[in-house]
Amino acid sequence: MSPGWQSQVTPFQRRVYLAVLRIPKGQARTYAQIARAIGKPGAARAVGQALKRNKWAPQIPCHRVISSGGLGGYSAPGGLRRKRRLLRLEGAKLK
């Protein structure tokens, strides 16, 4: 990940990415939890859009963010299969 990544994103994306970087390996948070963590409780969809634009995955581990109803989406190559695999490699318990 380039050291200047923070200057390449919007302030909202920066807040989202920094919150995602704090998710411990092997754990997951929902889009709504991230939205609340950054002080924008109604912005779960905007969190998803910010993560969709994450050029630094998996270093910024957007695969650790899931929907409240399950895995949700994953726009990186490999899609949901890759997201599921990354979470399992980290030791996350998936339903």
Which residues are designated catalytic? Answer: 62
Instruction: Tell which residue, 65, 58, 69, has the closest CA to residue 95.
Output: 69
Is residue 47 within 8 Å of residue 65, measured between CB atoms?
A: yes
Beta bridge partners of 48: none
Beta bridge partners of 65: 29
Residues in the chain: 95
